[in-house]
Protein backbone atom coordinates (compact mmCIF):
# COMPACT_ATOMS: atom_id res chain seq x y z
CA UNK A 1 0.00 0.00 0.00
CA UNK A 2 1.22 3.44 -0.85
CA UNK A 3 1.75 5.81 2.05
CA UNK A 4 0.12 8.61 0.09
CA UNK A 5 -2.84 9.58 2.32
CA UNK A 6 -4.68 10.90 -0.74
CA UNK A 7 -4.77 7.57 -2.56
CA UNK A 8 -8.01 6.35 -1.07
CA UNK A 9 -9.99 9.32 -2.38
CA UNK A 10 -11.50 9.14 -5.82
CA UNK A 11 -10.27 11.36 -8.61
CA UNK A 12 -11.32 14.97 -8.18
CA UNK A 13 -12.95 14.37 -4.80
CA UNK A 14 -12.45 17.04 -2.19
CA UNK A 15 -9.83 15.61 0.10
CA UNK A 16 -9.84 17.56 3.29
CA UNK A 17 -10.07 21.10 4.56
CA UNK A 18 -8.01 21.62 7.70
CA UNK A 19 -8.70 24.70 9.82
CA UNK A 20 -5.94 25.73 12.24
CA UNK A 21 -6.79 28.62 14.56
CA UNK A 22 -5.16 30.07 17.64
CA UNK A 23 -3.53 33.11 19.20
CA UNK A 24 -0.28 34.83 18.19
CA UNK A 25 2.84 32.66 18.22
CA UNK A 26 0.96 29.58 19.43
CA UNK A 27 2.68 27.46 16.78
CA UNK A 28 -0.32 27.35 14.45
CA UNK A 29 1.65 28.56 11.42
CA UNK A 30 4.32 25.88 11.84
CA UNK A 31 1.68 23.23 12.46
CA UNK A 32 -0.36 24.31 9.42
CA UNK A 33 2.73 24.26 7.20
CA UNK A 34 3.67 20.79 8.49
CA UNK A 35 0.17 19.42 7.83
CA UNK A 36 0.19 20.93 4.35
CA UNK A 37 3.50 19.20 3.59
CA UNK A 38 2.33 15.90 5.00
CA UNK A 39 -0.97 15.82 3.12
CA UNK A 40 0.42 17.69 0.09
CA UNK A 41 -2.21 20.37 0.43
CA UNK A 42 -1.93 24.03 -0.48
CA UNK A 43 -1.68 26.29 2.59
CA UNK A 44 -2.85 29.82 3.30
CA UNK A 45 -1.60 31.86 6.25
CA UNK A 46 -4.62 34.15 6.50
CA UNK A 47 -2.85 36.47 8.95
CA UNK A 48 -0.83 37.71 6.00
CA UNK A 49 -4.00 39.19 4.46
CA UNK A 50 -4.61 41.37 7.51
CA UNK A 51 -0.91 42.15 7.83
CA UNK A 52 -0.89 43.29 4.22
CA UNK A 53 -3.90 45.58 4.68
CA UNK A 54 -2.30 47.09 7.79
CA UNK A 55 1.05 47.65 6.09
CA UNK A 56 -0.58 49.20 2.98
CA UNK A 57 -2.55 51.58 5.22
CA UNK A 58 0.52 52.57 7.21
CA UNK A 59 2.59 53.12 4.05
CA UNK A 60 -0.15 55.37 2.65
CA UNK A 61 -0.28 57.30 5.95
CA UNK A 62 -3.91 56.32 6.47
CA UNK A 63 -5.79 56.17 9.76
CA UNK A 64 -6.06 52.50 10.78
CA UNK A 65 -9.44 53.18 12.39
CA UNK A 66 -10.90 54.31 9.05
CA UNK A 67 -12.96 51.28 8.08
CA UNK A 68 -13.87 52.54 4.60
CA UNK A 69 -10.24 53.15 3.60
CA UNK A 70 -9.13 49.83 5.11
CA UNK A 71 -11.90 48.02 3.25
CA UNK A 72 -10.83 49.62 -0.03
CA UNK A 73 -7.25 48.49 0.64
CA UNK A 74 -8.46 44.94 1.38
CA UNK A 75 -10.34 44.87 -1.92
CA UNK A 76 -7.13 45.57 -3.88
CA UNK A 77 -5.04 42.72 -2.38
CA UNK A 78 -3.44 40.21 -4.71
CA UNK A 79 -1.81 36.89 -3.77
CA UNK A 80 1.69 38.00 -4.84
CA UNK A 81 1.64 40.84 -2.27
CA UNK A 82 1.58 38.22 0.49
CA UNK A 83 5.19 37.24 -0.25
CA UNK A 84 6.60 40.52 1.12
CA UNK A 85 8.96 39.82 4.09
CA UNK A 86 7.90 43.17 5.58
CA UNK A 87 4.62 41.46 6.52
CA UNK A 88 6.49 39.27 9.06
CA UNK A 89 7.64 42.08 11.34
CA UNK A 90 6.41 42.80 14.84
CA UNK A 91 4.91 46.09 13.69
CA UNK A 92 2.94 44.38 10.91
CA UNK A 93 1.33 42.03 13.46
CA UNK A 94 0.09 44.98 15.47
CA UNK A 95 -1.18 46.80 12.34
CA UNK A 96 -2.96 43.60 11.27
CA UNK A 97 -4.83 43.26 14.52
CA UNK A 98 -5.92 46.94 14.32
CA UNK A 99 -7.47 46.57 10.84
CA UNK A 100 -8.84 43.08 11.60
CA UNK A 101 -11.45 44.55 13.97
CA UNK A 102 -13.38 46.10 11.04
CA UNK A 103 -16.27 43.89 9.90
CA UNK A 104 -16.15 45.22 6.33
CA UNK A 105 -12.43 44.48 6.04
CA UNK A 106 -13.14 40.92 7.14
CA UNK A 107 -16.02 40.68 4.67
CA UNK A 108 -13.78 41.92 1.84
CA UNK A 109 -11.26 39.15 2.58
CA UNK A 110 -13.80 36.38 3.03
CA UNK A 111 -14.33 35.27 -0.55
CA UNK A 112 -10.61 34.90 -1.26
CA UNK A 113 -10.24 32.67 1.80
CA UNK A 114 -13.36 30.57 1.05
CA UNK A 115 -12.31 30.07 -2.55
CA UNK A 116 -8.88 28.94 -1.36
CA UNK A 117 -10.46 26.57 1.18
CA UNK A 118 -12.89 25.08 -1.31
CA UNK A 119 -10.42 24.36 -4.08
CA UNK A 120 -10.51 20.85 -5.39
CA UNK A 121 -8.41 18.50 -3.31
CA UNK A 122 -8.61 20.48 -0.08
CA UNK A 123 -6.41 23.00 1.71
CA UNK A 124 -4.96 24.03 5.05
CA UNK A 125 -5.75 27.51 6.38
CA UNK A 126 -4.49 29.07 9.58
CA UNK A 127 -5.85 32.13 11.34
CA UNK A 128 -8.28 33.18 14.04
CA UNK A 129 -11.72 32.47 12.55
CA UNK A 130 -11.15 29.68 10.04
CA UNK A 131 -13.14 27.06 11.95
CA UNK A 132 -15.81 29.50 13.13
CA UNK A 133 -16.47 31.76 10.12
CA UNK A 134 -14.43 30.99 7.01
CA UNK A 135 -15.00 27.20 6.78
CA UNK A 136 -17.43 26.25 9.55
CA UNK A 137 -17.96 22.85 7.88
CA UNK A 138 -14.24 21.98 7.76
CA UNK A 139 -13.93 18.30 8.72
CA UNK A 140 -10.71 18.87 10.70
CA UNK A 141 -10.35 21.79 13.10
CA UNK A 142 -7.53 22.50 15.50
CA UNK A 143 -7.24 25.29 18.01
CA UNK A 144 -3.58 25.67 18.93
CA UNK A 145 -2.67 27.39 22.19
CA UNK A 146 0.27 27.91 24.52
CA UNK A 147 0.81 30.09 27.57
CA UNK A 148 1.48 33.77 26.83
CA UNK A 149 5.00 33.41 28.29
CA UNK A 150 5.87 30.49 26.02
CA UNK A 151 4.41 32.29 23.01
CA UNK A 152 6.33 35.46 23.83
CA UNK A 153 9.55 33.46 24.10
CA UNK A 154 8.95 31.83 20.70
CA UNK A 155 8.06 35.11 19.02
CA UNK A 156 11.06 36.84 20.62
CA UNK A 157 13.39 34.17 19.20
CA UNK A 158 11.69 34.33 15.79
CA UNK A 159 12.04 38.13 15.64
CA UNK A 160 15.69 37.91 16.74
CA UNK A 161 16.26 35.37 13.95
CA UNK A 162 14.81 37.89 11.49
CA UNK A 163 17.23 40.52 12.81
CA UNK A 164 14.60 42.38 14.86
CA UNK A 165 16.08 43.01 18.32
CA UNK A 166 13.37 43.63 20.90
CA UNK A 167 13.02 43.05 24.66
CA UNK A 168 11.16 39.90 25.75
CA UNK A 169 8.91 41.98 28.03
CA UNK A 170 7.82 44.09 25.06
CA UNK A 171 6.98 41.00 23.01
CA UNK A 172 4.95 39.61 25.92
CA UNK A 173 3.09 42.91 26.24
CA UNK A 174 2.35 42.86 22.47
CA UNK A 175 0.98 39.35 22.71
CA UNK A 176 -1.27 40.09 25.68
CA UNK A 177 -2.59 43.23 23.97
CA UNK A 178 -3.25 41.35 20.75
CA UNK A 179 -4.97 38.45 22.58
CA UNK A 180 -7.31 40.95 24.26
CA UNK A 181 -8.07 42.80 21.01
CA UNK A 182 -8.51 39.67 18.87
CA UNK A 183 -10.62 37.90 21.48
CA UNK A 184 -12.65 40.95 22.46
CA UNK A 185 -13.66 42.30 19.06
CA UNK A 186 -17.25 41.99 17.86
CA UNK A 187 -16.46 40.75 14.35
CA UNK A 188 -15.32 37.12 14.25
CA UNK A 189 -13.60 37.16 17.65
CA UNK A 190 -10.78 34.69 18.16
CA UNK A 191 -12.25 31.60 19.82
CA UNK A 192 -12.21 27.85 19.30
CA UNK A 193 -15.04 26.43 17.17
CA UNK A 194 -17.34 24.16 19.20
CA UNK A 195 -16.01 21.15 17.27
CA UNK A 196 -12.32 22.15 17.28
CA UNK A 197 -9.76 19.98 19.07
CA UNK A 198 -7.60 22.00 21.46
CA UNK A 199 -3.86 21.49 21.19
CA UNK A 200 -1.80 23.11 23.94
CA UNK A 201 1.79 23.22 22.68
CA UNK A 202 3.28 24.91 25.79
CA UNK A 203 5.32 21.86 26.77
CA UNK A 204 5.87 20.49 23.27
CA UNK A 205 8.74 20.63 20.82
CA UNK A 206 7.91 21.46 17.20
CA UNK A 207 8.11 17.74 16.33
CA UNK A 208 5.81 16.74 19.19
CA UNK A 209 3.28 19.41 18.22
CA UNK A 210 3.41 18.33 14.57
CA UNK A 211 2.84 14.67 15.57
CA UNK A 212 -0.06 15.59 17.83
CA UNK A 213 -1.61 17.71 15.07
CA UNK A 214 -1.34 14.83 12.60
CA UNK A 215 -3.03 12.47 15.04
CA UNK A 216 -5.90 14.92 15.48
CA UNK A 217 -6.29 15.26 11.70
CA UNK A 218 -6.10 11.49 11.20
CA UNK A 219 -8.92 10.97 13.68
CA UNK A 220 -11.00 13.70 12.03
CA UNK A 221 -10.22 12.30 8.59
CA UNK A 222 -11.31 8.80 9.62
CA UNK A 223 -14.62 10.19 10.90
CA UNK A 224 -15.05 12.22 7.74
CA UNK A 225 -14.31 9.33 5.38
CA UNK A 226 -16.78 7.15 7.25
CA UNK A 227 -19.49 9.79 6.95
CA UNK A 228 -18.89 10.59 3.26
Residues that bind ligand CDP (CB under 6 A): 24-25, 29, 46-47, 50-51, 93, 96-97, 100, 127-129, 178, 182
User: Nearer Cβ to ligand CDP, position 25 or 31?
Assistant: 25
User: Nearer Cβ to ligand CDP, position 9 or 158?
Assistant: 158
User: Nearer Cβ to ligand CDP, position 6 or 172?
Assistant: 172
Least CB distance from residue 226 to ligand CDP, whole Å?
A: 29
Least CB distance from residue 22 to ligand CDP, whole Å?
A: 7
Of all residues in the shown chain, the one whose CB is closest to ligand CDP is 47
Inter-residue contact 97 to 50 (CB < 8 Å): yes
Least CB distance from residue 42 to ligand CDP, whole Å?
A: 16
User: Nearer Cβ to ligand CDP, position 15 or 50?
Assistant: 50
Least CB distance from residue 14 to ligand CDP, whole Å?
A: 21
Least CB distance from residue 190 to ligand CDP, whole Å?
A: 7
- Write the DSSP string, the chain: ----TTTTS-TT---EEEEEE-STTSSHHHHHHHHHHHHT--EEETHHHHHHHHHHHHHTT--TT-HHHHHHHHHT--GGGGG-GGGGSHHHHHHHHHHTT-HHHHHHHHHHHHHHHTSTTEEEEEESSIIIII-TT-SEEEEEE--HHHHHHHHHHHHHHTT----HHHHHHHHHHHHHHHHH-SSS-S---TTPEEEE-TT--HHHHHHHHHHHHHHHHHHHHHH-
User: Nearer Cβ to ligand CDP, position 74 or 210?
Assistant: 74
Amino acid sequence: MSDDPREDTSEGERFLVIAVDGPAASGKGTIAAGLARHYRLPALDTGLLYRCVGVLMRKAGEDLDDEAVATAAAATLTADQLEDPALRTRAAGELASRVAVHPRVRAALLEFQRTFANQEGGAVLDGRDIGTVIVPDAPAKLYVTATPEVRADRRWKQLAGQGEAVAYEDVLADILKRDARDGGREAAPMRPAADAVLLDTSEMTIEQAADAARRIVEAARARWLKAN
